[in-house]
Structure 1
Amino acid sequence: MIDCLAVDIGASSGRVILGSLQNDRIDLEEIHRFENGMVEKNGQFCWELNRLFEEIKIGIKKCRDLAVQPVSIGIDTWAVDFVLLDEQDQLLTEAVAYRDPRTNGIMEEVDEIISREDLYAKTGIQFLTFNTIYQLYSLKKNHPEILRKAKSFLLIPDYLHFLLTGKKVNEYTNATTTQLVNASTKEWDQDIITKLGFPLEMFQEIQKPKTNLGGLKKELNEEFGFDMEVILPATHDTGSAVIAVPEVEPTIYLSSGTWSLMGVENHFPICSPKALSYNFTNEGGIDGRFRVLKNIMGLWILQEIRRNFENRYSFAELAELAKTSGINSIIDVEDDRFLKPDHMVEEIQAYCQETKQTIPETPGEIAKCIFISLAERYKQVALELEKLFGNTYQKINIIGGGAQNAYLNQLVADGTKKEVHVGPVEATTIGNLVAQYIALGGIENIDQARTIIKDSFTVDKYSPKSNEEVESYEC
């Protein structure tokens, strides 16, 4: 049996999960769960990295208390956000969150230096206002003294791995989301970095998933009472999640959570004008693969309306209320106005009023508006993927926490006219563990891993209803 720890941290919570591989089966046990979220510091929305690291340490100590000694540990988080360290490895910046408005208007300024066509041809990355490239340019514009002092650039999981090991690297899958990595060479694009005036020396050597960084720092070894290897998973949480799609044949995947990531795994990047016109991204994956996908706002919108309603309704209750609602208004879930509005419910209502649709009023109507809007966007992206690849896909695999929403799953099946396979829910954690198991020799390769995942975890299926049974939307 091989025991490994996967640390999976999302925008609202984090988990330390023990994964046990034995007899071609993976079993999961939650060791520690903790909250995460943005806090306001000096007028900016930031992540509490020191607290998150303390939560990771608590999870490791709980293993000790359970008399479990994992062989290795790996950390995955969301993408694009980073910290800068000075020559003494001290933080120069807070970990500013991607929803902070500091990048407003920055994309257009970068366009004046490097055209979108040239930037996309080099990186193949989707244009999003909060990409690392725009965060860094905002810092250069408003706080150039910080960049002048910067000696190390570390994305969030890179920094957490540094705290464990004392070693500074930039992991490949997360590095690609910065829009600063060349899709062909899989290395930092020095031309882009130089043109934008970023210090080239602050970027670390890019390391691929499955890289073993070695053991824990001595003081942590002593604190925990045992040592373990620190192995890089795909540190971008979607990169780990896609590893756990239980399919060997090509399929459309939808990683459903705070963000929805919908795409196809490919063995080379597609940086063509057609891919640019669809604004698809070519994020790095394990074993040199690429995740050709679209970032969609996702269940963040639903999370925010729950907050607006003071969390009086669970996700399941909102889905039930939505089922009985007659409203069919839809919103553009990718509109930046929904990235971090002051009040999500009011923003949705304003959008429907501006587009001359029925204004949702009740919790059920607002929830249904979100659900059918997401399903409509998934349908559009599925069609774009098929046009881009010149292929017709027979099914969609939904993974991640959002896969637990049966109402949305059925809407996706109805809208796309495809069979929808759902699960595993813990895809990110499983993909994190798989990278460690392969590095340790417990699993041979990704194909074997996906067969094991298919046998270890339940997958539900949803078939599309007939046209007569499916509701129509207002627009």
Structure 2
Amino acid sequence: MGKRIKLLAVDLGASSGRVILGTYNGSSMVTEEVHRFANTPVQDSGHLYWNVPALLQEIKQGIKLACQAHGEITSLSVDTWGVDYGYLDHAGKLLDSPYHYRDQRMGKYRNRLEELLPPEEQFRLTGNQPDPINTLYQLFADLQENPLLQERADHILMMPDLFLYLLSGTASAEKTILSTSGLLDAGTGDPSSVVLGRLGIPAGLIPLRVEAGTAIGRLLPELCAELGCGPIRVIAGASHDTASAVASIPYMEKEGVAFISCGTWSLVGMETKAPVLTPASYKYGFTNEGCYGSGNRLLKNITGLWLLQETRRTWAEAGEVLSFGELSTLAGNEGAAQSFIQPNDPVFSTPGDMPGRIAEYCRSTGQRVPETKGAMVRTILESLAQSYAAAIQELEEITGEKVRKVHMVGGGIQNKLLCQLTADASGREIIAGPVEASALGNLLVQLAALGELDFSRAAEIVAASETLTVYRPINDNRGE
């Protein structure tokens, strides 16, 4: 066996963060979670913020534990969800705490922004679906509330770039994470002069852009001394977590193949050569974001296992604690769902009594209210599967390409019933795996940046490293 390369993927999700060790032997990757920690936003004076100091300490602790247990670490990279950012001042210091995307300040300025830059025009210019959580809306709100930011701030850094800066001292703007911002021209990938000019956002706020998979420096010497580790290389990988997840998909071929990245949120999409900016793409709610290497991710956000997570939490608070496996078993013992919900309905978007909301939705739409826990879970899972199938049909209409197979990745694929229901609802073969898609894609991009992997072999590495499960439709519901 040849040399073993050890890498760290820092994956910051909606509720928790993880530092994952990847060990590569030239033909496969073994992953191990070395540190898990909460990622809980801070509430202060009616606003919601990222807890950057606490997260940085946890990341450092993960690096320290990995080095103590596994010796020399070659490199690390960070991925998070899109849209959020922090400001650096002219001395390179973080200005204030970065806002969390669930903060509500954007609502006050949404109408004004959309008067200056109507939603359909935003989409045509940037390829991103207009949404108040987008960086564009957040920046506009910040500058309206605090015009002095134009003088105080040197530039913004998207959240993965901010953590990489705090670890390495090098500021850069990685393209896949910046592609979620609503600030870039869909054709060139450069900051849109029309968007920035129309909204009065200084172009200088966006720093030097780099491609995904760029080695930007090494861990700061003072951090190496503090953590007892060597000069670990710091890499701006595919820093958007979905870009990393898509980089891990073990395609044998890409033509006629869609993907579902399934977790708290679900992303249903397809890789295309260029952004798809048609009226149909806008109407159906698809957005365009960057891929590792080149190309475009045409995808749609669908509320995912958040529905099940909140349902489980509500029942646990009432004294009945059930594992996700137990919930899936209860649903599997039920017959077909008698009622369906629209997962993206705003009524399901915030924390609260999810079973009560689902029951009320069913009553208000003239459907049978699920009477048992199994029936409630079955309604959730079948509704998700139906929404995935509908998005796949929309993809076919938008692209003119027949979808023959679907790769399903992420933690949600551990729910085997959801995978089978998706195959049944879509009438298509589902290839499930890997589970740790974002972390694995993060690690693979690092290997390519280090010159240790020809990325054309990535699918081969994933297939050798992960168990892939194929689900075929038992009942083809497409009516073909």
Shorter-chain TM-score category?
A: over 0.9
Matched residues in 1 for 2:272 and 2:286: separation? 13
- Which amino acid counterpart does residue 240 of structure 1 have in structure 2? S
Aligned partners of 2:170 and 2:217 also within 8 Å: no
Matched residues in 2 for 1:240 and 1:381: separation? 21
Matched residues in 2 for 1:345 and 1:199: separation? 46
Note if 1:144 corresponds to 2:147: yes
Match of 1:303 among 294, 305, 309: 309
Instruction: Please name the residue that 1:122 is paired with.
Output: 125
Note if 1:450 corresponds to 2:456: no
- Which amino acid counterpart does residue 247 of structure 1 have in structure 2? Y
Give the count of matched residue pairs. 469
Match of 1:231 among 210, 216, 235: 235
- How far residue 450 of structure 1 moved from its aligned partner, in angstroms, is 1.2
Note if 1:158 corresponds to 2:161: yes
Matched residues in 2 for 1:131 and 1:363: separation? 36
Note if 1:365 corresponds to 2:375: yes
- Which amino acid counterpart does residue 313 of structure 2 have in structure 1? R
Mapping 1:35-434, distance limit 5 Å: 35-104=38-107, 106-225=109-228, 226-250=230-254, 251-310=257-316, 312-325=321-334, 327-434=337-444
- C-alpha spacing 1:350/1:146, structure 2 compared with 1 (3 Å): farther
Matched residues in 1 for 2:113 and 2:439: separation? 36
Gaps of 5+ in 2: none
Instruction: Please name the residue that 2:471 is paired with.
Output: 462
Q: What's the secondary structure of 1:14's corresponding residue?
A: strand
Aligned partners of 1:148 and 1:199 also within 8 Å: no
Match of 2:9 among 6, 11, 23: 6
Aligned partners of 2:161 and 2:236 also within 8 Å: no
Q: Which moved more, 1:292-301 or 1:60-69?
A: 60-69
- C-alpha spacing 1:113/1:60, structure 2 compared with 1 (3 Å): same
TM-score normalized with structure 2 length? 0.93
- How far residue 105 of structure 1 moved from its aligned partner, in angstroms, is 6.1
Runs of 4+ in 1 over 4 A off after TM superposition: none
Gaps of 5+ in 1: none
Percent of aligned pairs with the same residue? 38
Q: What's the secondary structure of 2:73's corresponding residue?
A: coil
Matched residues in 2 for 1:310 and 1:90: separation? 43
- Which amino acid counterpart does residue 163 of structure 2 have in structure 1? L
Aligned partners of 2:406 and 2:431 also within 8 Å: yes
Q: What's the secondary structure of 1:234's corresponding residue?
A: coil
Q: Which moved more, 1:31-40 or 1:154-163?
A: 31-40
- How far residue 178 of structure 1 moved from its aligned partner, in angstroms, is 0.7
Q: Deviations over 1:27-58 (max 9, x none)?
A: 11222122223332222233222111111111
Q: Deviations over 1:339-392 (max 9, x none)?
A: 214433333233223222223354333322221111111010000111122122
- How far residue 106 of structure 1 moved from its aligned partner, in angstroms, is 4.4
- C-alpha spacing 1:347/1:145, structure 2 compared with 1 (3 Å): farther
- Which amino acid counterpart does residue 457 of structure 2 have in structure 1? Q
Aligned partners of 2:263 and 2:305 also within 8 Å: yes
- Which amino acid counterpart does residue 303 of structure 1 have in structure 2? Q
- Which amino acid counterpart does residue 390 of structure 1 have in structure 2? G
